[in-house]
């Protein structure tokens, strides 16, 4: 039997049954939680009482006038910007270097990616030790007689910076792998041509390689903003949001308010705002990206 319009036929097959199970599963669990959270945000409840009091929007107004809430948002923004720049800069450069003939490339690749594999829960005690006066860094500074005290987790400003270093350590691997992959796809002939035209290494990198990795950069930006908003493990396990909320993030604040202090309704309200911010952020980046492609 001959079939007409073969090219169209293939895509006319109904794909609904193929995506439905995955869809129901993901949406079921996650959207159920989201709606449940919407409901929770209008309550004043501690999770155990049989009585739940409805308080309307007051949890939201409370959040907007809560200095810790705004501090958490400020921390998130600062965190996102700095880690995004450093992480992706390093990932990009390392990917470029490792696409060149260097010795021990595999060892370096592993060293960069292994941090991404290890659980934050596992590494938190290591970092607390490392950045304390009892850690390796202090030993190194002492041997070099540098007179610096490694107490950076105790001061509000440096504490946030240390967490950013930890985040960069953990996620550069991801950024590296993606850039490495994107670079493998670049047309070698194009690079050759630009070299023949006399472009040096850095010119080539900036004008040819970087634009070709744009897709990766955009994806990393979106993942970055969502990741920054979701940040929980690192600040919670290393500094528990301290000292004095200097490293408080929305995720840690939600956890502390909801689970440790049993203000479930308030925590839910902050969660709702977090979701709104995340979706707005993603849409914004998407629009900016589309805007560029004119």
Within residues 138-197, the interface with another protein by CB under 8 A covers: 149-156, 159, 169, 172, 177-178, 180-185, 191, 195
Q: Is residue 130 close enough to count as binding another protein by CB under 8 A?
A: yes
Is the Cβ of residue 67 or residue 291 nearer to another protein in the bound state?
67
Is the Cβ of residue 78 or residue 210 nearer to another protein in the bound state?
210
Element (H, E) at 241: none
Say how far apart CA 124 and CA 260 lie, in whole Å: 20
Q: Report 59-88 residues binding another protein (CB under 8 A).
A: none
**DSSP 8-state class, residue 44:** E
Say how far apart CA 81 and CA 75 lie, in whole Å: 10
Q: Report 193-222 residues binding another protein (CB under 8 A).
A: 195, 201, 204-205, 209, 215-216, 219
CB 266 within 8 A of CB 58: no
Of the residues 58, 108, 141, 289, which one makes contact with another protein according to CB under 8 A:
108
Least distance in angstroms from the C-beta of 56 to another protein: 19
Is the Cβ of residue 40 or residue 63 nearer to another protein in the bound state?
40
Sign for the pseudo-dihedral over CA of 251, 253, 257, 259: positive
Question: Please, which residues bridge with residue 268 across strands?
Answer: none
Place of tokens 């490293």: 247
Q: Report 240-259 residues binding another protein (CB under 8 A).
A: 240, 242-245, 250-251, 254-255, 258-259
Of the residues 52, 66, 99, 161, which one makes contact with another protein according to CB under 8 A:
99
Say how far apart CA 283 and CA 271 lie, in whole Å: 18
Is the Cβ of residue 164 or residue 264 nearer to another protein in the bound state?
264
CB 248 within 8 A of CB 68: yes
């Amino acid at each position: 039997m001959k079939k007409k319009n073969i090219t169209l036929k293939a895509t006319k097959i109904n794909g609904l049954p193929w995506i439905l199970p995955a869809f129901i599963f993901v949406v079921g669990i996650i959207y159920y939680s989201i709606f449940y959270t919407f409901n929770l945000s209008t309550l004043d409840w501690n999770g155990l009482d049989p009585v739940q009091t409805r308080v309307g929007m007051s949890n939201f107004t409370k959040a907007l006038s809560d200095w810790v809430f705004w501090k958490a948002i400020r921390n998130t923004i600062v965190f996102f910007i700095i880690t995004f720049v450093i992480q992706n800069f390093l990932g990009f450069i390392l990917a470029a270097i490792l696409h060149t003939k260097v010795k021990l490339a595999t060892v370096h690749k592993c060293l960069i990616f292994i941090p991404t594999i290890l659980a934050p829960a596992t590494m938190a005690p290591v970092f607390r030790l490392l950045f304390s006066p009892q850690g390796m860094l202090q030993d190194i500074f002492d041997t070099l007689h540098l007179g610096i005290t490694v107490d950076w987790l105790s001061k509000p400003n440096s504490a946030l910076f240390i967490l950013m270093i930890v985040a960069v350590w953990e996620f550069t691997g991801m950024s590296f792998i993606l850039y490495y992959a994107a670079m493998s796809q670049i047309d070698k002939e194009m690079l050759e041509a630009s070299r023949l035209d006399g472009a040096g290494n850095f010119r080539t990198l900036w004008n040819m390689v970087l634009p070709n990795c744009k897709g990766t950069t955009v994806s990393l930006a979106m993942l970055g903003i969502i990741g920054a908003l979701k940040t929980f493990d690192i600040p919670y396990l290393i500094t528990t949001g301290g000292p004095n909320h200097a490293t408080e993030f929305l995720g840690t604040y939600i956890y502390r308010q909801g689970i440790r202090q049993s203000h479930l309704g308030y925590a839910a309200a902050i969660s709702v705002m977090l979701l709104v911010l995340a979706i707005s952020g993603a849409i914004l980046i998407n629009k900016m990206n589309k805007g560029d492609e004119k």
